[in-house]
Amino acid sequence: MRRPTLSVILGTLALLPTLLFAVNEDLAPESATGTQVQQSVEARHQLVVTAHPLATQAGYRVLQQGGSAADAAVAVQAMLTLVEPQSSGIGGGAFMLYWDNANKQLKAFDGRETAPASADENLFMTDAGKPMRWWDAMIGGRSVGTPGVLAMLELSQKQYGKVPWASLFDDAIKTSESGFKVSPRLNQLLTSKINPGLGRYPQARDYFFTPEREPLPVGHQLTNPELANSLRQIAEKGATAFYQGELAEKIIAAVKQATDNPGKLQLSDLKNYQAVERQAVCRPFRDYRVCGFPPPTSGGITTLQIIKLMELAEPKQLQPNSIEFYQLFTQASRLAYADRARYLADSDFVDVPMDQLLNENYLRQRSMLINPLTDMGKANPGELPNRLSRADDQSPELPSTSHFVIVDRWGNAVSITSSIEMAFGSTLMAGGFLLNNQLTDFSFVAEQDGKPVANRVQPGKRPRSSMSPIMVFDKNHRLVAALGSPGGSRIISYVAKNLYLKLSSDLSLQQAFNTPHVVNRNGVTELEAGTSAEQLAEPLKTLGHEIKIRDLNSGLHGFFRQSDGSWKSAVDPRREGTALGD
């Protein structure tokens, strides 16, 4: 099967440079805030790529001081808690792929939030027996799950760290005390009122707005001494300081004091939280082996399904016109998202048929449903033998999220997606950081027509996610790439499209990230506003697509190994990320 050449891909992009994926709902986790030109950084020894310059600098400084990728990840997340509070933080959760280069082992560390022990399938149901409105459920304490990112980072750093834990928080503590300048992106997200609950509770209102209740202006020197104090405790005592004692009590108090929508989180939920090591899910694709994260995120399985469906259904000669590529991509996406809605959830609670969903014969049969000349409309999930009858999930899943990648001088690497869910999370603050609203990633409805929904609320369960940290290896089991993105359930689309482009063509990873978005999550086909993807609208309508033109705000970050062994960064132009390396 012939791969498209660079000239073919560029010809395609000239016709429709910026693609989008179709979505089942209009809500977006973060609004678009413009683009910037990104320059790739080439590094022979070590490299850090994050969503904010100060976080990149913090991680790179740890590497320069002899730290490992696992060490640098702690410093990056601590700083992101301060400078990108709307997207991730220690009040949220994360998934980490870690490549141990010396032992040639890939680890998957699960720091996803969990439902409180006292929660049940009626968590988001009204007294009238109807599901709550999403906005009513999201703001306040009800939606707060047990944060997991710190426990996950400590678990990985204990195994792979090379410098003292306490030293990893120095930059974030100093910057919390001295302050940082509010960026145009943070200002625009505050101004846009993307999260209408942000002014409801006093801590966040006083932190993010002026005394006149105006959004903090660009360039405002924002300090956070309370966060500095929290991080200092964590630096001195480890993650235990977060899950027990003063900080834990502050978290529970914030959840309970939201009397308009109190939550069920208890001190015992924090004390009993455990980060989990899982087995990465890997499958061959072309000349590579692509590895993603297993459930409770749907990202790994669904991404692998999309790229394999495309490979199996791809014509022998891909014509140099974008409509063919995006028709193929949207149809493969429909099929994979249909399976996702039916079968994927926390595998500790639900039997997830991972091997069946990724079986090549199964995917080959599914790929035969793809017609290059007609949109299939809403796809049905595949019928799997010996499977209990299940209903499809109904959760909007709007993670406000961040992705970063690191490779150290020993060749160890991390690919981490970290989230507090919607922009600014539950809007509750404790200890200087925002608390997540990840429980709204559960299906509000537990069953339909007597059939259980896999992603229903259960005590201690982790809500299904779309976070998709990816690592790619060559035939010699050498790491060649790491990438991922924020973007809610569109994450899968952003990652799958760019992964396919990079592994199937001569495009650099940065060139792939620069292309427009086209998204289909088994609903309408979305085209990225303000890009040449808009030119796809009429041709795709002719094929039967329902089209929506909208902002599609990814935050792709990654790196790819060059032929000479060096690493080359890729940073999404849609956000304010940077790369540093040597």
Calculate mean pLDDT across residues 377-392: 78
Indicate the helix (H) or strand (E) that contains 403: strand 400-407
pLDDT band at 4 (very low <50, low <70, confident <90, very high): very low
Residue 277 phi, psi dihedral angles, 5° rounding: -90, 130
The half-sphere exposure of 365 on its side-chain side, counting CA atoms within 13 A, is 10
What are the pLDDT digits (tens) for 394-422? 555 444 699 999 999 999 999 999 999 99
Q: Is 549 inside any structural domain? A: yes
Asked if 420 and 437 count as a contact pair (C-beta separation under 8 A), the reply is yes
Q: What pLDDT does residue 280 have? A: 98
Q: Indicate whether 263 belongs to any domain.
A: yes
Q: Is the pLDDT of residue 326 over 80?
A: yes
State the amino acid at position 37 in one-letter form: V
From the list 18, 48, 44, the residue with the least C-alpha distance to 407 is: 48
Give pLDDT, residue 172: 98
Least confident among 271-275, 395-399, 462-466: 395-399
How far is Cα of residue 86 from the mean position of the Cα atoms in its chain?
A: 13
Quote the tokens at residue 247.
């900080």
- CATH number of the domain where residue 436 is located: 3.60.20.40
Q: Is the distance from CB of 459 to CB of 479 less than 8 angstroms? A: no
End-to-end CA, the chain: 38
Asked, for residue 93, whether it belongs to a domain, the answer is: yes
Per-residue CA distances from 367 to 312, 352, 500 (Å) = 6, 21, 16
Over 70: is that where the pLDDT of 217 sits? yes
Rounded Cα distance between 78 and 101, Å, is 25
Domain assignment present for residue 123? The answer is: no
Spatial contact of 222 and 216, defined as CB atoms under 8 Å apart: yes
DSSP 98: E
Q: Is the pLDDT of residue 24 over 70?
A: no
pLDDT at residue 506, as a whole number:
87
Whole-number Å distance between alpha carbons of 573 and 267: 41
Which positions ≥6 away from 280 have C-beta within 8 Å? 97, 106, 107, 108, 291, 292, 293, 294, 300, 471
* pLDDT reading at 54 higher than 80: yes
Structure tokens belonging to residue 499: 């992964």
Measured CA to CA, the distance from residue 142 to residue 189 in angstroms comes to 23
Furthest C-alpha separation in the chain:
64
- CA 142 to CA 116: how far, in whole Å? 10
pTM metric for this prediction:
0.92
Instruction: Look at residue 105 and tell me if it is in a domain.
Output: yes
108 and 280 Cβ atoms separated by less than 8 Å? yes
Q: What is the pLDDT of residues 430-462, one digit of tens each?
A: 999 999 999 999 999 998 888 899 999 999 999
Per the prediction, the chain carries an average pLDDT of: 91
Q: Judge contact between 400 and 466, C-beta under 8 A.
A: no
Query: Cα torsion at 253, 257, 258, 263 (round to 10°)?
Result: 50
Residue 362, pLDDT above cutoff 50: yes
Q: Are 97 and 81 in contact (CB under 8 A)?
A: no
pLDDT in tens, 493-503: 999 999 999 99
Taking alpha carbons only, the member of 406, 425, 396, 411 closest to residue 488 is 396
Which residue's entry shows tokens 């689309």? Answer: 493
Give the confidence band of 381 by pLDDT, cuts at 50, 70, 90. Answer: very high
Give the total number of structural domains in the chain: 1
In this prediction, residues 324-340 reach a mean pLDDT of 97
Structural domain contains residue 316: no
Which residues contact residue 347 at a Cβ distance below 8 angstroms, ignoring those fewer than 6 apart?
A: 294, 295, 296, 354
Res 111 pLDDT > 50: yes
Q: What is the mean pLDDT of residues 112-134?
A: 95
> Please, what's the b/e burial string for 398-437 (b: 16 or more CB within 10 A of its CB; e: otherwise)?
bbbbbbbbbbbbebbbbbbbbbbbbbbbbbbbbbbbbbbb
CA dist 112 and 92 (Å) reads 8
Give the pLDDT confidence score for residue 21 in this predicted structure. Answer: 25
Inside any domain, residue 303: no
Alpha helix segments (H runs only) across 403-536: 491-504, 509-514
Q: How far from chain centre, in Å, is Cα 571?
A: 15
Alpha helices for 115-215 (secondary structure H)? 134-138, 149-160, 170-178, 184-191, 202-208
Assess contact for 415 and 470: CB atoms under 8 A: yes
Alpha carbon of residue 74 to chain centroid? 17
Nearest Cα residue to 435 out of 575, 269, 292, 215: 269
Q: Is residue 64 part of a domain?
A: yes
Domain extent at residue 27: 6-116+145-278+394-581
Tens digits of per-residue pLDDT, 496-547? 999 999 999 889 999 999 999 999 999 999 999 999 899 999 999 999 999 9
DSSP annotation of 453: B
pLDDT, tens digit, for every residue of 473-494?
999 999 999 999 999 999 999 9
- Residue 369 predicted with pLDDT over 90: yes
pLDDT tier, 16 (very low <50, low <70, confident <90, very high otherwise) = very low
HEC sequence for 551-575: CCCCCCEEEEECCCCCEEEEECCCC
Q: Of the given ranges (79-88, 149-158, 392-401, 550-559), which has the lowest mean pLDDT?
A: 392-401
For 26, the token pair is 């209009």
